[in-house]
Amino acid sequence: MTAELQGTLALIIGIVGIVGVVLAIVALVIAARTARWAGRLRRAEQALLDGEPVDLVEFAVGMQARMERLEIDGLHLRDEVVSALGTLDVLLRRRSIVRFDANDDEEGRRSASLALLDRNGSGIVISAVHAGSVTSVFVKDVLRGGAGSLALTHEEQQAITHALR
């Protein structure tokens, strides 16, 4: 695997990892706020059941404020997810699948080559070749629309060509 492909793959993995960590942190914050809100709700409910004096208007206003805060947090989380998906789309902007029959005597195009390329035409091509009762998977690097360290099959080159269109 060449240094350029390793760098591209490391960048993709790094960005996916960072996005995952950010989403996990946001989810933890929302979970903590929800747990705190649920605890307050349980205490207020128990106070009502025990017959203690509770200001229902103050309770309702507080609940509404907390719900609005949770809704805002949910919108922020959705925006983070959309942003993360947009980043992944830019990194793997060019992609294509070519289905084919590995053997002349088989039908159903059960084999496939998947090209995942960045805007420069570099990335990987993954092929799953089904022959008889065995399926083999091959992963090859692609540099600027051509073969990296391993030769490409006709179907793999076809997937790359379709992805670069």
Q: Where are the beta strands (DSSP E) in 6-163?
A: 94-100, 111-117, 123-131, 134-143, 146-147
When pLDDT is averaged across residues 134-156 and rounded to a whole number, the result is: 84
Q: Any idea which of 67-71, 88-92, 154-158 has the lowest mean pLDDT?
A: 88-92
> 98 near 161, Cβ under 8 Å?
no
Judged against a pLDDT cut of 80, whether residue 72 lies above it is answered with yes
Judged against a pLDDT cut of 80, whether residue 146 lies above it is answered with no
Tell the residue number behind the tokens 């205490």, with chain if given: 43
User: What confidence category does residue 123 fall into, taking pLDDT thresholds of 50, 70 and 90?
Assistant: confident
| Higher per-residue pLDDT: 98 or 85 | 98
Closest CA to 38 of 14, 12, 67, 13: 67
Both structure tokens of 127: 């092929």
What whole-number distance in Å separates Cα of residue 7 and Cα of residue 3? 6
> 142 near 148, Cβ under 8 Å?
yes
When pLDDT is averaged across residues 42-55 and rounded to a whole number, the result is: 74
pTM above 0.85, yes or no: no
> 152 near 125, Cβ under 8 Å?
yes
| Higher per-residue pLDDT: 107 or 128 | 128
When pLDDT is averaged across residues 79-84 and rounded to a whole number, the result is: 82
Closest CA to 95 of 50, 66, 125, 134: 125
What whole-number distance in Å separates Cα of residue 145 and Cα of residue 126? 14
When pLDDT is averaged across residues 99-114 and rounded to a whole number, the result is: 78
Across the strands, what pairs with 99? 112
Residue 106: what pLDDT? 67
C-alpha 60: how far from its chain's center? 38
What whole-number distance in Å separates Cα of residue 156 and Cα of residue 123? 12
**Tens digit of each residue's pLDDT (9 = 90 or more) over 18-32:** 878 888 888 888 888
Judged against a pLDDT cut of 70, whether residue 99 lies above it is answered with yes
Percent of the chain with pLDDT over 70: 85
Average pLDDT over all residues of the chain: 80
> 119 near 8, Cβ under 8 Å?
no
